[in-house]
Structure 1
């Protein structure tokens, strides 16, 4: 190797050493700037611990300068990401002023932030991002940390309500179930079903199963069914068996080194409820006739699907009709479904010669033992008073019927008069004969002479 080659070799070595030295220095500079200059950010505590979905989380953060220089104009900022969110009333940035160097008292600051937690978060540990930076021209810092927050979640649900307590036999009813998420995590892939003892109640137009994709925390999902029971169903309380199944999010996921493994586990909630079949019924009132005495007769029919006990029909005070004689109520007793009876009322219309509405009140005890009142209104023609017209006709009829008796009486009276007159005349003649005994012979002589 000649001198030139040796010099070139030495130059290359020196250049390589210089480059390596520069790289090392550069790396040292990067490290020194990224070593956060002795600044530390730590989570002191969280409240509540663990926090539940939908709650408000309060975190206490410690910021400390362990370096050898003061740092002025320091700021701490939180940047929440799912499942955390900034509250509208909270400021995510705090100006903490100067962080003194390690030998000074103001080297440490304790900060408190409040953030919200989403409702649909599952149980686990989640990062909360915190930034520390300064506007100090001499000692600028920019530091990011992720604080680990524990979230506790529990899935649970309940049948909050049933829209119907009673059903009328033979009447189609919309039955609505309210399913509420009372847990701390959303209910996913839910399935609800119900069944009635002995199939007394059956769905119409659909099955007894409904699927619900998602029920958020605190929310209620309504599922409805059109149902029907037989018209001849005996009144009483019938049991419904309710079943709700859904994915158990917390038990579905198992943490392994490879990540999350789906276990496909379902959670089932069984409950029961009661629905009363029976209760109220319906009535029909129709006008039948008006008697000569002025009484109106009505038919009262039980046209519903339940019996009615202690039935009473009344005519309340109203503008068009007035009850004139007797009570305004008639007790009819018990009416089974399909039965009817009659009720009479003495009524006086406000005006005559036209149709006037008349209102009835029917009170009865339903099959569930509750006193009910049913209102019914029908049109009723107000005819002239038959009672007064009937009285005149009766008088004329009485006079006509008495005429033969009057004629007979007059004949008898005339016959008696003739009889008395002849008797009187006979007595007069006998008296005259006794007073003039010759009168008869003289008369006879005159008759003979002639």
Structure 2
């Protein structure tokens, strides 16, 4: 073989290889590009539309092949990223089998997916990523599409509760306010404050303002204050004014490239509530004296900061003491704060010579018109010279006196009987003597006659 022939042979081989390589590369380019361009992923609808923070979102997705070749072993996957999240029990990957080419009926599939929406998201439109791919060895394809999901956000808050309905004058009380996020977006940078009419109620140890960084959707934040009222405050219902301000992100929000929210607005909610000052009071009972007949005298004092009406003191049934005579209750009438009065009870202890607890019940109408019952227990010494001992001594003395009278009567009766007996005996003797004398006289007369 000549040199020219050899060179021509080598050139033909290289040209053939280049031609084959170009054909294969062209086929590969056509397969990938044409299949990718023939696929489409579209959002048919979302439910609800728009969706609220914290809700469950359902999306219906349309998958379609408009290419000239079938695509086998196709899968669709949802990969939720913030503000979306996977839900327990819900599939994120769905197999759709074969997508027919553009002229076939099975070229289009419709799928449903459910994902959750985070609570702390603001209003706006957010991307939900969808992946379409196949495991066909000959025609592997993949496509990523971002579906635009509209999220609504409405901020709203309310004072859910106040822990205390009544305050006792002069008594420090913990006052707690429950602030509930009733909207569907988080409350950020909240500030709560309150004040009462004429400063009748004042905070102790802190101001009347508290800050809360975040209140999530549906949650309640508690803020507490130690409060005090003047001891001389007139009982009644007083107004409490409350103010809540927080960041409200609405139509004017702007999402910057760094992801921060600008143009925040402050929203203010003002409300009022009534709180009663007054109510119950406290009592003190002390032993004063014991009479010789067994009556115990007690002092009853209103030591609280409120007046008490229709006060009644009772000695209920108990183990150590018994009411022996009269009623077990004493009506004392009205007692203003600082006033006192006395109550008497005829009591008999179970034993004498020791300290015994005794229980009292004090019922009264408080300044808010509610009937109250308070128990009070004191220790009372049971003296031997009680009504019980006095009664026994009187009984024994009475028995002794009766015995003496009976004995004296029997003595007198015996003396009288003895006197009558003696007198009767005297008469019998005199009568016998007279009879003897008469008999002797008759005998003498008879002798004289003879």
Relative to structure 2, which stretch is displaced further, 231-240 or 28-37?
A: 28-37
Aligned residues: 377
- Per the alignment, residue 187 of structure 1 pairs with 187
> Kindly tell me: are residues 268 and 27 of structure 1, through their superposed partners in 2, closer, same or farther at Cα, counting changes over 3 Å?
farther
Alpha-carbon distance between aligned partners in 1 of 2:190 and 2:308, rounded to the nearest angstrom:
43
| Contact 1:251 1:265 (C-alpha < 8 Å) held by counterparts | no
> Kindly tell me: are residues 217 and 62 of structure 1, through their superposed partners in 2, closer, same or farther at Cα, counting changes over 3 Å?
same
Alpha-carbon distance between aligned partners in 1 of 2:168 and 2:105, rounded to the nearest angstrom:
80
The superposition leaves residues 354-398 of structure 1 with CA deviations (integer Å, 9 ceiling, x where unpaired) of: 1111111111000000001111111111222533544648998xx
Structure 2: which 5+ runs fail to align? Answer: 1-17, 401-450
| Contact 1:187 1:247 (C-alpha < 8 Å) held by counterparts | yes
- Per the alignment, residue 367 of structure 2 pairs with 367
Task: For 1:330-345, list aligned pairs within 5 A.
Answer: 330-345=330-345
Q: Secondary structure at the match of 1:94?
A: strand
The superposition leaves residues 140-174 of structure 1 with CA deviations (integer Å, 9 ceiling, x where unpaired) of: 11111110000000111111111111000001111
Q: Secondary structure at the match of 2:387?
A: helix
Distance apart, 1:257 and its partner CA: 10
Instruction: Say whether residues 1:287 and 2:287 are aligned partners.
Output: yes
Task: For 1:40-439, list aligned pairs within 5 A.
Answer: 40-251=40-251, 253-254=253-254, 262-387=262-387, 389-390=389-390, 392=393
Alpha-carbon distance between aligned partners in 1 of 2:160 and 2:31, rounded to the nearest angstrom:
60
Alpha-carbon distance between aligned partners in 2 of 1:296 and 1:26, rounded to the nearest angstrom:
120
Relative to structure 2, which stretch is displaced further, 349-358 or 227-236?
A: 349-358
Compute the TM-score of the two structures, normalised by the length of structure 1.
0.79
Q: Secondary structure at the match of 2:289?
A: strand
Compute the TM-score of the two structures, normalised by the length of structure 2.
0.79
Alpha-carbon distance between aligned partners in 1 of 2:175 and 2:238, rounded to the nearest angstrom:
14
The superposition leaves residues 43-63 of structure 1 with CA deviations (integer Å, 9 ceiling, x where unpaired) of: 110000000000000111111
Distance apart, 1:255 and its partner CA: 6.2
Q: Secondary structure at the match of 2:292?
A: coil
| Contact 2:255 2:262 (C-alpha < 8 Å) held by counterparts | no
| Contact 2:35 2:69 (C-alpha < 8 Å) held by counterparts | no
Relative to structure 2, which stretch is displaced further, 233-242 or 380-389?
A: 380-389
Alpha-carbon distance between aligned partners in 1 of 2:102 and 2:34, rounded to the nearest angstrom:
18
Structure 1: which 5+ runs fail to align? Answer: 1-17, 400-450
| Contact 1:321 1:350 (C-alpha < 8 Å) held by counterparts | yes
Distance apart, 1:262 and its partner CA: 2.7
| Contact 1:156 1:183 (C-alpha < 8 Å) held by counterparts | yes
